[in-house]
Amino acid sequence: MSAEPADAAYQGTRGAFSEEAARTLLGGGAKLLACATFAAAFEAVNDRRARFAVLPIENTLAGSIHTNYDLLASGTLEIVGEAVLRISHALIAAPGVQMEDVRRVLSHPVALAQCEGFFRRNPHITAVPVYDTAGAAEQVVDDGVPGAAAIASANAAEVYGGVILERELEDHTQNFTRFLLLGPAGDKQTAPRNAGVGGGGSSHKTSLMVRLANRPGALHSCLGAFASRQVDLVKIESRPLHGAPFEYLFYLDVAGRIEDAVVADGVAAVAPYALSLRVLGSYPCAPAPRE
């Protein structure tokens, strides 16, 4: 417990996309703590074993990760930054392995499914599901079996000393994941210097979680609180809830800082319509991701 806390906790192993997001947000030299689950990364900040947590929150193909919104709803951490990463898959093997040797390709089933075209073009190669992309890269490099390769990030090849046989294996290039940087709620002095990566920190957004009664027009009135103040809506999503048929949970991201009068007034104006309202954070927008 006396050890210096890590700069950030993330879910996955070294070379995972979350690690890359953490380095984008906190710099290449950041001390990172790899955790087995999203909840464990979140808890590491609560327990002061890490100053921040970096968690994925939505993907352009797979949608929002509601379980991570649930962690945020507990209110002990708040969003202090974000990063958007292009998810691109590389084919990685041990040094010396040639493309024509490869007969088995290991990766997470979601990554394998995103590279369907590659397996169609190479019918002699078998897809082998394993736990995670970076772990697959580590395994094929360590084992050094000539017939095996892995699908993972180019970063994983570097981390584990593998060679990249092919890049951009994915079928859809519009594959981006948005990651959140989370810190202790209300702990203003902990906001990292590098998290203001959004074009000089000029552009900010504020994330809200709002529970509304299931009444025609409730959401329209809620959004009117922002529209009438010219506050732009960046994201809106209703969360499907079962067991609560008379209420709805919404995620809203609006442009601006919570300190801006129009945003603060908009939030205050929503309150009368809301069964509950939580500000999840107010933070610099990520720059457009590298293509």
Active-site positions read 177, 179
Instruction: CB nearer to a second copy: give 102 or 285.
Output: 285
32-35 and 6-11 beta bridge pairing = parallel
Question: Quick one: which of 47, 116, 158, 187 contacts a second copy (CB under 8 A)?
Answer: 116
Question: Cβ 146 to a second copy, closest distance in Å?
Answer: 24
Is residue 272 part of the contact set for a second copy (CB under 8 A)? no
Alpha-carbon distance of 76 to 269, in angstroms, equals: 25
- Produce one character per residue of 92-104: b if its CB has 16 or more CB atoms within 10 Å, e if not: bbbeebeeeebee
By CB under 8 A, the residues from 56 to 95 that bind a second copy are 58, 60-67, 84
Q: Indicate whether 240 belongs to the interface with a second copy (CB under 8 A).
A: yes
Q: Is 122 in the site for a second copy (CB under 8 A)?
A: no
**Least CB distance to a second copy at residue 18 (A):** 15
**Measured distance CA(66)–CA(163) in Å, rounded:** 36
Q: 167 to 226, contacts with a second copy by CB under 8 A?
A: 172, 174, 176, 178, 214-217, 219-221, 223-224, 226
Could you say which of 73, 99, 213, 227 contacts a second copy (CB under 8 A)? 227
Interface with a second copy (CB under 8 A), residue total: 52
Nearest approach in angstroms of CB 31 to a second copy is 26
CB of 286 to a second copy, least distance (A): 11
Q: Which residues lie closer than 8 Å to 286 by C-beta, 6 or more apart? A: 81, 82, 83, 84, 178, 197, 198
Nearer to a second copy, 76 or 131 (CB): 131
**Given the rule CB under 8 A, which of 48-56, 95-103, 128-136, 190-198 is the region that contacts a second copy?**
128-136
Chain positions contacting a second copy, by CB under 8 A: 37, 58, 60-67, 84, 108-110, 113, 116, 129-131, 172, 174, 176, 178, 214-217, 219-221, 223-224, 226-228, 230-233, 235-243, 245, 250, 288-289
